[in-house]
Every structure is written in C-alpha cells, then in structure tokens.
Structure 1
C-alpha cells in the first residue's frame, strides 16, 4: 500500500523526520530552490501538509494542491494558515496545543525574572572583569509582590498566572469575558490599556490573527510606562513593533523581554542597539520533551486522518 504524500514546509528535528518518513512520503518544500516548480511537479500527489506555526500555509499554496485533505501544524498558533481557504475546501487543520503550554509559561516567567534582576548583564559583568574592577552590578528591581497583567487568559496565560501567584504577585487579566473557575483574587479588566496601567509586568499570551494584530500599541505601551516590563511569548503580530521600538527608544516603556519578532529571524536592527530589551530566538517551547511531544502529535494527527479516525487535536 502506497504511503500518503505530505508536503513538509519547514525542517523538523531528526526524531520527527524519522517517524514521519516511516509513515508517509515526505516532500521537503523548504529545501527547494524553485518552490513553485517543486509544488507544480507534485501537486496532484500531495494529500497533506506538515508545517510549523510561523510558516503556516497560505491560500496560494492551498489552491495549488487539488487533492489536499489535511494541514498539520507543529505549534499552537495556526494564524499563518488560511483557515477560510481550508474550510471552503473541506480541508482539515490540526495543531499541537497543551503539550507546550507549561514550557512556554516557564520561559515567560524566566524572562520576567531575567529582565527584572539583570541576569544577562550580571553574567557579562562578571565575565568582563567589571565586578572585580568596579564592584557590584547596579541595583535591579524585585518581582515578588508586583502587579502583573495577563493579556489573554487562555491555556498559556493561565499557567503564567499560576506561576506568578507563587511570587505573591497581584494578578489581573484581560480576555473576551471573565473566565469561570479562576481564583477570586485574579481581577478581570476588560480594557488592555487599563490592564497595562495597573501592571508592573504585562505578559502577552494572546492567540495570533487579525483580531489581535497590533493590540499592544502605543496606548498600551505608554500606559505600562517607563518602569514597566513587557513580556511577549505569543505572536509578534500582537505587538505594534514600530510603536514598541519608539517607546523603548524614548524610554516611554521601561523594558521588553521578547521571544518573537516580525520577520524573524531577521529582526529589526534597532532592537540590537537597545540595552532595555532581552532578546530570545523564539525558543519558549524549545525543550526536548515538548518538541518530541509536538512532533508526535503532528505525526499522530496525520496518521489518524489517513486511517479514517478522529483527529486528536482538530482546529477545523
């Protein structure tokens, strides 16, 4: 029996590739010099797409594959997939929720701690000899007892809030509506600007897409203020990057800890000139354990589809 043909949009770890190639015929789109020709030559055979959250699958690619049945996203976010185009064709879409939630929350809190306590410049201070030559690093700011705002109380936002509660932080959040079942001392704030005004630290844990694009704009950043810290472990699109850079450059915002950027990995070079940012290479879910679980879920969703079984984590 022939194996289903899958178009692989981006690279995966070796352990995922091995499992996928054992079950499917994988076509490495990301290695092709002429990608349009690569797709044309295989268009009639491709029945599935295996992609990554930030790479997605646009309408042009979906339209070019007449026998496409399923798109499996390696990641929680699927805003880079043209859901309308997929839905119009009856193409199923899956993602990998839950398996990365706690690692992303861990990393967000780690960035908060690193930014607040100067972990990265502290190590540089020691390595450069400045500790011996100049004495102690200039004082930083505490985390415990501060006010935290969670912009988006989904799975990841909830896990961030739970971790912040362990630091005795005052927790408030913004979402479409108040969430049931949360601790009574977690305060719902309907407006992102109002949330930022009361926060010392603002976490962005929103889903991507048109509805949240640029939601963290100039008003939110200025409300967070010159002593505030922005932590983005969501999608780069949720933050107006131009407004963020201006706020950092003018010191209207105190600090930003960022794991995501527009046009990554080719981020705006203005970020590199600032000492008020902590820059990370989109690695919030980057643990061996989580990446193996994500890869297995991509494999298992594809396998379930072609076996005529229910998808494990359907989007549509």
Structure 2
C-alpha cells in the first residue's frame, strides 16, 4: 500500500500483517517508520513481495519484535530470464531494426547494421545466490565462458534438494579481473552500503569498449549510465524515469542503451507464485511457526 493506504488501515482493526507489493508500486515505496510501527501494536510480520528489502530499516523493525519476509524462491527464474533477454537485446539488432522498420521514413534497412555474437562470449556475473546460478545455467546453453565475482567463493550450490557442482563458472577474487575479461557484465547483487555505486566511472573504464553492462539488481548500484559501454537496464536510479523532454531526446538518440521499467518478475506464473510464497510466510507468522523466507537484520 501507499502511505495513504497505510494510514487508512489505522481507521479499522489494527492489523497483524502488512503486505508490501513493491513490484506494483513502480518506485513509489511506502514509508515504514517508527511512528507507524508504534501505531500498530498487533503487528507481527511485514510481508514483502520480491527479494529486495533495501527500502526497509530491518534493525529498527526488529526492535519492535516484528518479522520481515520476502519471496526469494519464486523470483529467481523470471529475474534470470530478463537478464538473458536484456543480454540478447543488447547484443542483437532487433530493437534498432524494429525502430527502423516502423519509422515513417523507412525505405530500406542498411546492410551494415551488425549485432554481436553471444555464443562463445564471456559472461561475467557480479553476485552470488540462486539468481546468479540460474543465469549461469542459461548462459551455458549459449556455450558462454562464465566468470563470477562475489565476496566469497562457492563451489557448490543447492538445486532441487541436491548438491551439484556450480555451473563450471570461474571465480574472480577481484571484480577488476572480471570487468576486464567479460563481454557481458551482469549485476546481480542486493543493494547494501557495500554495493551502492559499486560500478563507477573507474569500473566502466576497465571494461572492454565493446562490452555490455546489464543491471537487474538496483539502479543505484551503478552510476554514469548514459555514457560509455553498452547498457541494458531493468533498473534505473530514479523509477520511473523522469518524463523530461530533454532526457527522452538523449535516450532516444543513444544506440547503446536498452531500458525496461523494472518489470523483470512480472509474468503470470511468477506473480501467482510470489503470492503463494507470501501467504506461506504470513500464515507461518500468524501461527507462531518458523518463517520460510524470513529476512534478518545483518
């Protein structure tokens, strides 16, 4: 709910749960502050749809003995799908020739418009966890050389209840090494003080001039997104992007940017499964059971 929606709740019976449909707010995040929590003495759980909880002060919420949950298990596949889709869109010429094809002045398509070969290229994934694994498994289908960087190296991941060797990915201890080698760099990290502005001008300059940066995490993980290497973004620093004529003109003229409006998990099945996972968390909280997807303060 919006801030107005939260206040409206106070007029009726004080709730034991708050459901935050972050995926549907398109950047308009509700304010969960101390004043609100003090007004909700019956509150037991804040159920967040999606994975990211960077909009919540987990330590402050925990001080009110209120639990926070998210839905990490159901978003991995659609998030990996949008990452691969953006990679293909940025590598191919489909977006550009589509715009040319529907242009009123289009007589013919230039024969020298060329895309980038994906098969056999090097995919660099910044981040770990289930989404990274899902992306790597998809990249393997394109016979890509897969690198990853994370604070810790992991040789095994859990998949369908069994321990399996992790997708033949090569660990890069330093992010610089990954940036210098990769043809496609995909950001798959949670927004934390450590990852805020992780990719700056310096990091962009380490990348190959022909490389593509794909961001499916949070917009503020990177800066300087209008210049330099090719960008494929499902997230931006401001969401939605300001509807400024000057900004629109700049983006339209740039051929090295593909943007989608943070809708990577918006598929029919994912939306249904997110709801199911959220309900499981809520019922567990109300019945005093362990929460399947509790998010603890770090």
TM-score by length of 1: 0.79
Matched, 1:205 2:180: no
Matched, 1:258 2:259: no
- How far apart in 2 are the matches of 1:206 and 1:56? 22
Distance 1:170 1:137, change over 3 A: same
Identify which of 15, 19, 36 aligns with 1:46: 15
Counterpart position of 2:225: 244
Correspondence 1:262-301 to 2 at 5 A = 262-267=237-242, 269=247, 271-301=251-281
Unaligned runs of 5+ in 1: 1-8, 10-28
TM-score by length of 2: 0.84
Displacement of 1:180 after TM fit? Answer: 1.9
- How far apart in 1 are the matches of 2:95 and 2:181? 27
Matched, 1:195 2:178: yes
Displacement of 1:133 after TM fit? Answer: 2.5
Q: What is the CA deviation profile of residues 80-114 of structure 1, one whole-angstrom value per residue up to 9, with x for unaligned ones? A: 11101112222111100111101111111111011
Counterpart position of 1:223: 206
Counterpart position of 2:108: 133
Identify which of 45, 59, 66 aligns with 1:91: 66
- Higher fraction of helix: 1
Q: What SS does structure 2 have at the residue aligned with 1:140?
A: coil
Q: What SS does structure 2 have at the residue aligned with 1:93?
A: strand
Matched, 1:112 2:95: no
- How far apart in 2 are the matches of 1:282 and 1:76? 13
Matched, 1:302 2:282: yes
Displacement of 1:276 after TM fit? Answer: 1.3
Correspondence 1:63-74 to 2 at 5 A = 63-74=38-49
Corresponding residue pairs, total: 277
Identify which of 140, 153, 166 aligns with 1:178: 153
Unaligned runs of 5+ in 2: 157-164
Displacement of 1:258 after TM fit? Answer: 0.3
Correspondence 1:144-183 to 2 at 5 A = 144-181=119-156, 182-183=165-166
Displacement of 1:141 after TM fit? Answer: 1.1
- How far apart in 2 are the matches of 1:239 and 1:109? 19
- How far apart in 2 are the matches of 1:231 and 1:146? 15
